Structure 1
Amino acid sequence: MDTWVWWLVAAVGLGIPLVVTAMPEFGMFAVGAVAAAITAALHGGMVIQVVVFAVVSVALIAVVRPIANRQRSRRPVHKSGIDALRGRQAVVLERVDGSGGRIKLAGEIWSARALDDERSFEVGQHVDVVEIDGATAVVM
């Protein structure tokens, strides 16, 4: 059997852990094995085949991995639950002060209290939600 066939078998063998473990490094090694198979098909010597495998594999790991890690870290974070309510604006429905009140936040009526106990907000004013404390929105 020709050497290039063995390199293709190695590429498939390296592709299996890629699928099973979702580790992209195995895919990069598989691409290196395909490059070595092409080198073998072009009648390159065994030393050249191994060098091509190593260079292509290491180059892919050195170049592609950092790019993939940067892209993974740039994904927008989708906020949900109370995290999505922080920073939103609300309308005061009942006077809000340090002891309580009511606001309309994201289409729902919430109990609210002012962040600063000495501050109060009148009906119709717009307030910013600083945090959610249990079932109470803390506003300013």
Structure 2
Amino acid sequence: MDWLSDHAWAVWVGIAAFLGIAELLSLDLVLVMLAVGALGGAVTAAAGGAVVLQLIVAALVAIGMLWLVRPSLVARLHQGPDLKLGTGKLIGQRATVTQRITGLATGQIRLAGETWTAAPYDEHIVIESGETVEVLEIRGATAYVHPVPELEP
């Protein structure tokens, strides 16, 4: 019994290691929070605290981790990038005009390796073949575009 009281910190570290390994199987961030609590108990034991104090510190640290840290970690892990699917991913991309575009007649652009019917976003402008445009909107199978100003050297 003397060995156990002298090496209580090692028991707490063993519990923390076991909980950490078990967390790898569950992946719900509960057991790792309990493992951190066990490390709090280990620190208390290494500092010479009584067994009751070790249990209280371990419980408080674990509850604190579950209440304060886990929710933000879970939210951060479940949050992913916004995925743009379909035609939405083409908005903002640049394309090359392959057939003249006017407000009266649609033309064509080369966008993402495909040929698209295009109309000017501002119906009062004319966009000549070879110009670079930016896709502002897609309605049906028609891309509404606006010319991109060319940068002068």
Q: So what's the TM-score if we normalise by structure 2? A: 0.62
Question: Which sits farther off after the overlay, 2-11 or 52-61?
Answer: 2-11
| Runs of 5+ unmatched residues, structure 1 | none
Taking a change above 3 Å as real, the CA distance of residues 66 and 33 of structure 1, as seen in their structure-2 partners, is same
Q: Does 1:104 align with 2:110?
A: yes
Q: Does the CA-based 8 Å contact 1:114-1:138 persist in structure 2?
A: yes
> Percent identity at matched positions?
31
CA distance in 2, matches of 1:51, 1:37: 12
| Partner in structure 2 of residue 59 of structure 1 | 64
CA RMSD of aligned residues (A): 3.6
| Partner in structure 1 of residue 129 of structure 2 | 123
| Partner in structure 2 of residue 95 of structure 1 | 100
Structure 1 residues 62-88: Cα deviation after superposition (integer angstroms, max 9, x where no partner): 443355356547765575775432221
**Aligned residue pairs: how many?**
136
| Partner in structure 2 of residue 37 of structure 1 | 42
| Runs of 5+ unmatched residues, structure 2 | 146-153
